[in-house]
Amino acid sequence: MEMDHTERLDAYLADELQEDLVRLVETEIRGDQVAQDEFVVQAQMDAALNALMADEQSSHDFAQGVIASVQTAPERSLAKSVLSEILDEREAAALVHQPRTFDWWVWTKTAAIAAVAAAVTVWVLQSVRVGDEKAAPRPTILARLTLDDEAEWADSSLKARNDGWLEAGRLNLKSGLAEVTFGSGARVMLEGPVVFDIEQTNRGFLKRGQLTAEVPGPASGFVINTPTLNVVDLGTRFGLRVKTGGESEIHVMQGVVEVSRARGSSVPLVLTEGLAVAADKRPQSRLKPVTYEGHRFVLPTEQNIASSMDHFLHYGFDESGGAEIDDTGMGLEGGPFDISLLSEADRLTQASPKRTAGVVGRGLAFEQGNRLEAIGPALLAGGKSPWTVMFWTKVPPKAGKNTEREMVTWGSEERSWKVRWNVDGNVGAAGALRVDYGMGHATGATDLRDGRWHHAAVVFVGSGQEDEEGLADSDQADVATHVRLYIDGKLETLSGGKSESVDSIEPGAVNGVSSFSLGGSGSFEGWLDEFYLFETAASPATILELYEQGVLAAGSRADGQGIR
């Protein structure tokens, strides 16, 4: 008897199909959104029921094949939430789903089930979407080399660009120290000899050697795996060591981490400050406590925020009145850039935005038709050179649905950049921060339409250094892969994007800031405050500091209401 679609899915998950039917099922999954959704549900249920009905050893064997796919805390939380509903239906609501805190020998089946469901969920979400054209592109520039202290690199090691940015790849440090800052803000201090893989903007792999990781709150969920350990940082500082024999050790210096074995018994433990554990290569062995040696790890360097603040344009919007808004940034000669903002009310029909209470002092309230254009000397080099735009914004919950909701625009008609909130839910999360260049774009995940102030940052890492003629090096810079978006100091996951190569500027071409505009074409409705434009790709530390400055300033107001 021929199997129906549901039966084929069940047999596929049980690895009971012949090769031709396996290809049929995979074709169905990739080509049909409904089939994809059904497959996700089937996989989650299959994982949970396997774990519920099997003994502990069977659960561990099942988990072993998929647990390596667990990547981040949010995905783990999602899987646990789904599993919780399954357990409730089976009248098991009293079971606890959180990992035990430093409990060495009491391992619960519930925690094993959570690990299994999390792994399967992540594997499914990653595997069935491979052919989806709407899938967001992955960033290609993931981290930056922020310290190189007498470092000697192996010839086979990944090479940093001229400006220090790093793509995915393997760092092989023979001796010395090197600090790597990930796009998420997590920092890793490598102590040679060490072999370390940069995998994603919030994930790495320590093959051998020693490192120290420092993870600020917005980068919580940073993952470092070893051959025998999976480590998820929850906002802390820890040391990680992989010995010659393959044994891995983690020493928690501050905060909290979640750690589990990469193979065998994969139930996660929560470790706090002053605790240390080790895992060896034996698949059925457990994590074992070891003597804490946090003092033997080199700490990441203190961030010098001021050094990344050179040459920037800043509008605070704190003038008491008048149509012109002056900048208070830092120009090439140490003073302001002298690039004022002025509405076009006298020449066209554009009206100036109204001054209102901002995050820090005063801000601007934009209505339909409001825009401000820059007057003064050129600022942006344009082309493939890196830059950063940061500002506070507040978008009303009932914001209009016109497709042009631009907060900031600049550049020529052919090379125009636009920063907006996304209207089109077919190309990314509706209401999220979005940056466009030509026909390409990158879209974040956080809906800004809640009537609250949010700090937004757009970082374009560029293609590298410009040569003497103004032409960038041969690296391709793409809006979908070379742009990072941050909301409230935290790196956004891209919910959508479309590739478009960023053009070089021809020698002698003029691409000044004369086309620079707040309010875009006059379509933005909402509030703006504390606008920054940098001539470099700002570090995550700089973004976080400017976000926190706004939070502190708003929190110190007399009304005590903070940011709303």
> pTM of the prediction?
0.75
348 and 411 share a domain?
Answer: yes
Residue 356 reports pLDDT greater than 50: yes
Q: Are 115 and 195 within one domain?
A: no
- Identify the band that residue 340 occupies on the pLDDT scale cut at 50, 70 and 90: confident
Out of 19-28, 31-40, 128-137, pick the least confident.
128-137
Q: Is residue 246 part of a domain?
A: yes
Encode pLDDT of 24-78 as tens digits: 776 666 656 566 666 666 665 555 555 444 444 334 333 333 333 333 334 444 4
* CB contact burial 93-120 (16+ within 10 A = b; e otherwise): eebebebbeeeeeebbebbbbbbbbbbb
Q: What is the pLDDT of residues 199-231, one digit of tens each?
A: 999 999 999 999 999 999 899 999 999 999 999
Domain presence at residue 332: no
What's the chain's Rg over C-alpha atoms? 26
Structure tokens at 501: 């190569």
pLDDT given for residue 350 in this prediction: 52
Are 114 and 159 found together in one domain? no
**Does 253 lie in the same domain as 361?**
no
For the cut 90, the answer to whether the pLDDT of residue 558 exceeds it is no
Measure the CA–CA gap between 378 and 376, rounded to whole angstroms. Answer: 7
Lowest mean pLDDT among 251-260, 441-450, 528-537: 528-537
- Residue 120 maps to a domain: yes
In this predicted structure, the answer to whether residue 468 has a pLDDT above a threshold of 60 is: no
Which residues are CB-neighbours of 43 under 8 A, at least 6 positions away?
13, 120, 121, 123, 124
- Residue at 88: amino acid letter: D
pLDDT tens track for 469-514: 444 455 678 999 999 999 999 999 999 999 999 887 654 444 444 4
- In the chain, % of residues over pLDDT 90: 40
Q: What is the DSSP letter of 131?
A: T
- Give yes or no: residues 443 and 528 share one domain: yes
What pLDDT was estimated at residue 458?
97
> In whole numbers, what is the pLDDT of the chain averaged over residues?
76
Domain's final residue, options 235, 262, 296: 296
In the prediction, which pLDDT does 399 show?
76
The confidence score (pLDDT) of residue 536 equals 87
Whether the predicted pLDDT of 105 surpasses 50: no
Q: Is residue 5 scored above 90 in pLDDT?
A: no
Of 82, 103, 127, which residue constitutes the final position of a domain?
127
Nearest-angstrom CA–CA distance, 278 and 286: 9
Q: What is the mean pLDDT of residues 295-323?
A: 76
Q: Is residue 52 part of a domain?
A: yes
**pLDDT value of residue 411:** 76
Q: What is the mean pLDDT of residues 362-382?
A: 77
The model's pLDDT over 509-533, given as tens digits with 9 standing for 90+, comes to 444 444 688 888 788 899 999 999 8
Task: Let me know if residue 302 belongs to a domain.
Answer: no
Residues 85-110, mean pLDDT to the nearest whole number: 39
**Whether residues 243 and 271 fall in one domain:** yes
Region of poorest pLDDT, from 127-131, 374-378, 518-522, 544-548:
127-131
Name the least confident of 11-25, 182-196, 309-323.
Answer: 11-25
Structural domain total, the chain: 3
Range with the largest mean pLDDT of 110-124, 330-344, 511-525? 511-525
Indicate if 373 and 505 belong to the same structural domain.
yes
Do residues 388 and 511 both lie within one domain?
yes
Q: Clarify whether residues 86 and 183 are in a common domain.
A: no
Of 6-10, 176-180, 359-363, 559-563, minimum mean pLDDT range: 559-563
78 with 206, same domain? no
CA–CA gap between residue 387 and residue 266 (Å, rounded): 43
Structure-token match 């000899």, residue found: 193
For residue 281, what pLDDT is reported? Answer: 86
Look up the domain containing 72 and give its range: 5-127
Same domain, 187 and 44: no
Given a cut of 70, whether residue 111 has pLDDT beyond it is no
Q: What is the pLDDT of residue 385?
A: 84
State how far Cα 205 lies from the chain centre: 17
Q: Does 86 share its domain with 179?
A: no
H or E element that contains 487: strand 483-487
Polymer length in residues for the chain:
564
Pick the range with the lowest mean pLDDT from 108-117, 203-212, 283-292: 108-117
Cα separation of the two ends of the chain: 62
Q: Identify which of 133-142, 256-265, 385-394 has the greatest average pLDDT.
A: 385-394
Tell me which of 231, 264, 296 is where a domain ends.
296
The confidence band for 188, taking pLDDT boundaries of 50, 70 and 90, is very high
Question: What pLDDT is attached to residue 100?
Answer: 40
pLDDT of residue 304: 56
Q: How far is CA 232 from the centre of its chain?
A: 15
